[in-house]
Amino acid sequence: MKSFTQNPSRRLFLRQAASFSALGTAAPFAMNLAALGSAAAQTTSDYKALVCVFLSGGNDAYNTVLATDSASWSSYNAVRNLGGESIALNSSQVLPLNPVNALPRGRTMGLHPQLTGLQTLFNQHRRLAIVGNVGPLVEPVTKDEYMRQARRLPSKLFSHNDQQATWQAMAPEGVSKGWGGRLADLMAADNGNSLFTGISVGGNAVWVTGQTVKQYQLAPGKVPRFGVYANADGVDRIYGSAEAGEALKRIGSAYRAGNPFESDLREVGRRSIAAERVLSTALPSETQAPFGPSTQLLYRRPDGVTEINPLAQQLQMVARSIAARGSLGMKRQVFFVNLGGFDTHDGQMAKHAVLMARLSHAMAYFDTVIQSLGMGNNVTTFTASDFGRTFTSNGDGSDHGWGAHHFVMGGAVQGGTLVGELPVYGTKQANSNQFDGSPDQIANGAMLPKVSVDQYASVLGRWFGASSGALQTIFPNLANFSAPTNFLG
């Protein structure tokens, strides 16, 4: 099999070429990549992790990555700045981006004023790429085809829970296997402890669960012990009794045939006890460098108040887990973290600014820590969200949309690039919010995705080590798109 790096049509935003030179010799790594690309051999000697940063509620991509050329800005301002509680950002405060290659058609772009950390990662460190207008698709669809209902579309568009599931697992709520977990399925055999192959620090997330990989859920901070405590002798006890301590653990965790609800609870108990036993010694302290001190978790809100960043807390636990990869025997891991509050139907300007500040601080913190661990090229972090939001304003907020821009961060990333395109911004028509002037915007200016989630995810999956065949299986709609990952061409 030909190394995909030699195939321009498969040139990805992940920076293989840079990785080669970093290693000094291109050939072994290329061979390794080729090996990773074949279904037969997925044995790994290196370490890779995918980290999904989920922005729950549907992030307003229009105010996250902004088209700043004058034509785009004029449309943006006309639609979003209705006076009163405008949802248009001030152009002078938008953070300019300097992409490696100029954007087509003379367009320019910038970031939300609170995304200072991401601006540095994009402009200076070149460790951040932007993927424009991504969303769930079954097959490519033009605006005309969408209006005529001439193409198959994902079901239950615009619905939070269903589109969260679709982003994470390619189907609406009820789907049981996510693509993070399914990618991890392919590699789990290389891991010394299967328990930690898929970890969520952000609550229950189907993305992490595969065929064999089950998500292990961690809370930030300390890993709780299952009831028992141990004195200096190391014996687990309850109310002074080692026998009772053992009984508690057996009752809570030992498999018994019978009631399936009880069996599920016991399995969770078993995993809780087994994981804590290992992690209590394997995880480095959250207060020690580079994870701490805890002041690193503080971010500055737009109103000047300094407080703990809940997303950074979660990513700290991810970083600690990655630091423990050696003692845990891990080669491939997927992690999920979650930042909520993005359903900005109202009060959007203030709410979204806080969320952007959290996102920027947490991503920059995580990148710094990961690089301190020497894992800068081994961890790829990306964002996902329910959907983008409408271009139009409902007065002081925006409503559920479809496509959205997303960030990919790490040393393997073709940093400083825009993958895909920003949508053409339609100008407002009298008495219509159909945005006839834009081929990329549907009713109320929601983005019609040009890059499918399958494409976006398959790029990440290929970097992670999945073969083409495996990717076609995990992302069955990939075949519907003319060229594999053509959004990167």
Shortest separation between residue 347's beta carbon and other proteins, angstroms? 8
305 binds other proteins (CB under 8 A): no
| SS3 category, 178 | coil
Provide the token pair at 204: 């229950």
Q: DSSP labels for 461-478?
A: HHHHT--HHHHHHHSGGG
Helix pair angle (242-253, 260-282), 10° resolution: 120
Shortest separation between residue 183's beta carbon and other proteins, angstroms? 15
| SS3 category, 71 | helix
428 binds other proteins (CB under 8 A): yes
Cβ pair 302, 250 in contact under 8 A: no
Cβ pair 276, 225 in contact under 8 A: yes
Query: Taking the alpha carbons of 278, 378, 207, 365 in that order, is the dihedral positive or negative?
Result: positive
217 binds other proteins (CB under 8 A): yes
**Smaller CB separation from other proteins, 213 or 451:** 213
133 binds other proteins (CB under 8 A): no
Residues 42-61 interacting with other proteins (rule: CB under 8 A) = 56-57
| Those residues with Cβ within 8 angstroms of residue 15's Cβ, 6 or more apart along the chain or in another chain | 411, 412, 413, 414, 415
What secondary structure letter does DSSP report for 241?
B
> How many of the other CB atoms lie within 10 Å of CB of 395?
13
Residues 445-474 interacting with other proteins (rule: CB under 8 A) = none
Residues 356-415 interacting with other proteins (rule: CB under 8 A) = 390, 392-395, 397, 399-400
159 binds other proteins (CB under 8 A): yes
**Smaller CB separation from other proteins, 108 or 209:** 209
Shortest separation between residue 15's beta carbon and other proteins, angstroms? 34
| Those residues with Cβ within 8 angstroms of residue 200's Cβ, 6 or more apart along the chain or in another chain | 208, 215, 216, 217, 218, 335, 336, 337, 338
What secondary structure letter does DSSP report for 202?
S
Out of 122, 226, 387, 487, point to the residue binding other proteins (CB under 8 A): 226
Shortest separation between residue 385's beta carbon and other proteins, angstroms? 13
Q: DSSP labels for 337-386?
A: EEE-----SSSHHHHHHHHHHHHHHHHHHHHHHHHHTT-TTTEEEEEEES
272 binds other proteins (CB under 8 A): yes
**Smaller CB separation from other proteins, 95 or 275:** 275
**Smaller CB separation from other proteins, 83 or 374:** 83
**Smaller CB separation from other proteins, 101 or 255:** 255
Site string for other proteins, 336-355 (x = CB under 8 A): ----xx-x-xxx---x----
Nearest to 224 by CA among 259, 177, 271: 271
**Smaller CB separation from other proteins, 412 or 448:** 448
Shortest separation between residue 27's beta carbon and other proteins, angstroms? 40
**Smaller CB separation from other proteins, 131 or 404:** 404
**Smaller CB separation from other proteins, 317 or 478:** 317
266 binds other proteins (CB under 8 A): yes
Q: Select the span of 115-123, 233-241, 287-295, 321-329 touching other proteins (CB under 8 A).
A: 233-241
Can you tell me which residue has the tokens 């992490």? 208
Out of 49, 79, 363, 422, point to the residue binding other proteins (CB under 8 A): 79
Residue 51: phi and psi, rounded to 5, are -120, 120
76 binds other proteins (CB under 8 A): no
Side chain identity at 5, as an amino acid letter?
T
| Those residues with Cβ within 8 angstroms of residue 264's Cβ, 6 or more apart along the chain or in another chain | none
Can you tell me which residue has the tokens 């979650």? 338
Shortest separation between residue 168's beta carbon and other proteins, angstroms? 11
Out of 23, 34, 153, 223, point to the residue binding other proteins (CB under 8 A): 223
Residues 196-215 interacting with other proteins (rule: CB under 8 A) = 203-204, 206, 209, 211-212, 214-215
Query: Taking the alpha carbons of 263, 265, 266, 267 in that order, is the dihedral positive or negative?
Result: positive
How many residues bind other proteins (CB under 8 A)? The answer is 87
